Amino acid sequence: MFVYISLGKNKKYYYMLGNLIKYSDFYTAPIPDNPIELIIDIPKEELIATIVAINTRLKPLGVSHFDDSRDTQINCLRTIFLDNENHIEQSFCLSIINKYIITPSNNNLFSRVTCLYALQEILNFNGFTKETPEYNFDNRERIFKFLLIANNQILKGDSNYKKEGYEQLGNDFFEFFMFRELHHNQYNECSNSINVFYKSWFLLHKIENHHIFSNHFKNYLTWYYKVENADAFLKNIFWAYIKSYDETLKLRYLNVLKSELDTIKVLDAFSADREFKVLEKDNLEVFDFSRIKKSPLFKGRMKDEKDTIGYLILDDGFFLEKAYSLLINDFWFDYLKPNEICTRKDWGSFIGTDFYEPFLCEIFLESFSNTPEFIFRSTDELKFKIEGRPIEYADFYIREKQNIALIEAKSSYLAIINGYKTVSTIDDFRKLNLEEFYDDYGLVQLVSKTIKKFHLYKNHIADDKFNSNRKVQLYPILIVNDPIFSSSLASFVFKRKFNELLEKEGINKKAKEHNIKDLCIMNVSHLQDMEQSLIDKKNNFFKILDTYLLMSNYNNKANFNRYNFLRTFDHVLHAKIKEGLIANRIKGLKWLEE
């Protein structure tokens, strides 16, 4: 079972609880003891190209959501059978298509995680034939079977729901469900590629200009990627990516001239065949996909007669994040930690204070640049002394009339080592330190200080035109870096926990002096997407928040249809912002040339 955003026939996005179709749903024969043997007579490069073609179709060019529509699923199926040019009635795989279309509408054959899991299995194995066979229904169907077996493995833990009797969880079920399904639901989010590259550029320049990390980062880039500086690193990735999509093949691959030596150095590092410990299949750490994250490209075999070198992009999202979130980890684990340059806390503090908060601040300042009625205050402006005590109140404060957004920003990512990503059973769930979890990711601070002490601190905020004697509408917001926390299940669980913490602190949501709205969780990418719309006054920040709260209100019974209470900011932005998802200041790419 998984939660995903679906594109309906009316081209509207909605959230669904869905099912991946398993091998055992389609075939009566038992799963082979060693599934890789199904496909060892097909060259590795062909297998990877086929699965990459499926993965690319699931995330079409220029779309910020995965496309799980029936048409796309069938298109992916026909891609396996090299069948896309035939009329569907003459399809080689018509019998399989007919079997698929009678399944429930929320049943999918393929997902991004299906592709990632299968790719990792193939990359971990070196016994494939080097000879290209004559392709026929049999060997192409075996690729299909291999992918369905991947679904079996992805969903293996679902039997625990019945075996363990999840009814015992009571009100904790959604919390358990969030962690239990994290290993594949974490990969259901994606961002606009240009916005990711700009975010990467901002990060790289912050590191490169830092008094401690600057020289170390240059050493790292020279050692690992064989480039002189951050600009060379990013430009080589950016321009290679921009030219990578083949409209005819519906495939992302990089063809680089052999003379483009600097680009090849970076892409060779991105495609290096590194040794990784092969984990047991029942170990949920398998779904961290460390091998693909480390090397998101697959380098094709060199051919002397060609003047280009080809690389397949294994996964669009991992490739984009290689200069952002994955770089944050790579620089720490490959250089800073082994060379004892700083502690993990020091590095995390830099990411939060020197990069993340200034990046958000820049977006807010641009967004409200044409609306002077919006009062914006950030970090240093929200530090003050009361009776000699220094107070750091909140990360951001936004006011329009009596509407006030109180914002905490969290830059950290959920690590694999603390057990949050490897919950398989109720016992695993019970072992989690949930108090620490909600504290680490900002919820406790948002309630116990930012909301609870608003009326104590409100007159210390530099906002002369604010009428503090009138009732206010408070909008508590968490802005997260990790898309896990802004995804559907996590948003819902965090909202419920927020209300529990308010009650625990004795805070009434509705009082004479305030009305506290439900928690809003948005990702930094959501802010990027709405920036130009706010600049152009096509949308109002607080009205966007109101739309989100209305669309995801759990107390509205209408939202139980198709699990609409699980909707996130992705759904709201799709409904409210039809164009301008890339801000004009970023779209022109002047920043890349600076």
Q: Do both 330 and 382 map to the same domain?
A: no
pLDDT value for 124 = 95
Looking at residue 574, the DSSP 8-state letter turns out to be H
Is 553 within the bounds of a domain? no
Is 11 within the bounds of a domain? yes
How far apart (Å, rounded) are the C-alpha atoms in residues 71 and 169? 38
What is the pLDDT averaged over residues 219-238? 95
Q: Do both 15 and 73 map to the same domain?
A: yes
Contact of 454 with 384, CB cutoff 8 Å: no
pLDDT band at 158 (very low <50, low <70, confident <90, very high): low
What is the pLDDT averaged over residues 302-331? 90
Ranking 1-15, 108-122, 293-307, 336-350 by mean pLDDT, the lowest is 1-15
Chosen domain end from 164, 197, 222: 164
What is the pLDDT averaged over residues 356-376? 98
How far apart (Å, rounded) are the C-alpha atoms in residues 501 and 493? 12
Q: Which is nearest to 581 in space by CA: 519, 520, 536?
A: 536
Mean model confidence pLDDT for the chain = 91
Q: Which is nearest to 203 in space by CA: 360, 376, 340?
A: 360
Q: Do both 103 and 70 map to the same domain?
A: yes
Q: Do both 12 and 141 map to the same domain?
A: yes
* pLDDT at 10 exceeding the cut of 80: no
Is 304 within the bounds of a domain? yes
The number of beta carbons lying within 10 Å of the beta carbon of residue 590 is: 9
Is 81 within the bounds of a domain? yes
What is the pLDDT averaged over residues 446-465? 95
How far apart (Å, rounded) are the C-alpha atoms in residues 94 and 100? 10
pLDDT value for 275 = 82
User: Torsions phi, psi of 16, nearest 5?
Assistant: -140, 155
* Long-range contact set of residues 335-342: C-beta below 8 Å, sequence gap at least 24: 335/216, 335/219, 335/220, 335/223, 335/224, 336/213, 336/216, 339/216, 341/212, 341/213, 341/216, 342/212
Is 190 within the bounds of a domain? no
CA distances from 296 to 47, 120, 244, 266 (A): 16, 11, 14, 12
The residue to which tokens 């239990």 are assigned = 180
How far apart (Å, rounded) are the C-alpha atoms in residues 124 and 347? 32
How far apart (Å, rounded) are the C-alpha atoms in residues 20 and 310? 32
Q: Do both 420 and 521 map to the same domain?
A: yes
Q: Do both 321 and 356 map to the same domain?
A: no
CA distances from 130 to 41, 45, 46 (A): 8, 9, 10
pLDDT value for 8 = 43
pLDDT value for 489 = 87
* pLDDT at 549 exceeding the cut of 80: yes
How far apart (Å, rounded) are the C-alpha atoms in residues 23 and 320? 32
The residue to which tokens 């409100």 are assigned = 458
pLDDT value for 234 = 96
pLDDT value for 162 = 58
* pLDDT at 1 exceeding the cut of 60: no
Q: Do both 63 and 157 map to the same domain?
A: yes
Q: Do both 153 and 264 map to the same domain?
A: no
Q: Tens of pLDDT along 469-516?
A: 999 999 999 999 999 998 888 999 999 999 999 999 999 999 999 999
What is the pLDDT averaged over residues 381-395? 90
Q: Tens of pLDDT along 36-95?
A: 999 999 999 999 999 999 999 998 776 777 888 999 999 999 999 999 888 988 899 999
pLDDT value for 159 = 61
Burial of 94 (C-beta count, 10 Å sphere; 0-12/13-18/19+): middle
Q: Do both 379 and 329 map to the same domain?
A: no
* CATH number reported for the structural domain that contains residue 441 in this entry: 3.40.91
Chosen domain end from 503, 519, 545: 545
Amino acid at 29: A
How far apart (Å, rounded) are the C-alpha atoms in residues 195 and 323? 12
| 579 Cβ contact partners less than 8 Å away, ≥ 6 residues apart | none
Q: What's the chain's Rg over C-alpha atoms?
A: 25
Pairing of β 396-400 and β 375-378: antiparallel
Q: Do both 355 and 326 map to the same domain?
A: no
Tokens of 207: 């590191």
CA distances from 458 to 21, 275, 397, 446, 474 (A): 54, 55, 10, 15, 12
How far apart (Å, rounded) are the C-alpha atoms in residues 27 and 14? 31
> Can you give the pTM of this predicted structure?
0.93
DSSP alpha helix (H) spans, 314-445: 316-321, 325-331, 344-350, 357-367, 426-430, 434-440, 443-445
Is 520 within the bounds of a domain? yes
pLDDT band at 534 (very low <50, low <70, confident <90, very high): very high
Pairing of β 514-516 and β 472-480: parallel
Contact of 508 with 524, CB cutoff 8 Å: no
pLDDT value for 13 = 42
Is 93 within the bounds of a domain? yes
Q: How many domains are there within the chain?
A: 3
Contact of 290 with 348, CB cutoff 8 Å: no
Instruction: Give the strand order in the sheet containing 107-108.
Output: 2-7, 13-20, 107-108
How far apart (Å, rounded) are the C-alpha atoms in residues 365 and 363? 6
Tokens of 435: 């108090």
pLDDT band at 14 (very low <50, low <70, confident <90, very high): very low
How far apart (Å, rounded) are the C-alpha atoms in residues 134 and 136? 6
Domain membership of residue 333 as a residue range: 213-341
Q: Do both 157 and 42 map to the same domain?
A: yes
User: Torsions phi, psi of 409, nearest 5?
Assistant: -110, 135
Is 572 within the bounds of a domain? no
The residue to which tokens 């004795």 are assigned = 506
Q: Do both 43 and 108 map to the same domain?
A: yes
How far apart (Å, rounded) are the C-alpha atoms in residues 56 and 66? 10
pLDDT value for 374 = 98
- Containing 178, the helix (H) or strand (E) segment is helix 173-180
Ranking 12-16, 208-212, 322-326 by mean pLDDT, the lowest is 12-16
Tokens of 66: 């995965």
Burial of 407 (C-beta count, 10 Å sphere; 0-12/13-18/19+): buried
What is the pLDDT averaged over residues 203-212? 97
What is the pLDDT averaged over residues 294-313? 86
Looking at residue 186, the DSSP 8-state letter turns out to be T
The residue to which tokens 């680089």 are assigned = 256
How far apart (Å, rounded) are the C-alpha atoms in residues 199 and 323? 9
Chosen domain end from 341, 372, 398: 341
Chain Cα centroid distance, residue 84: 30
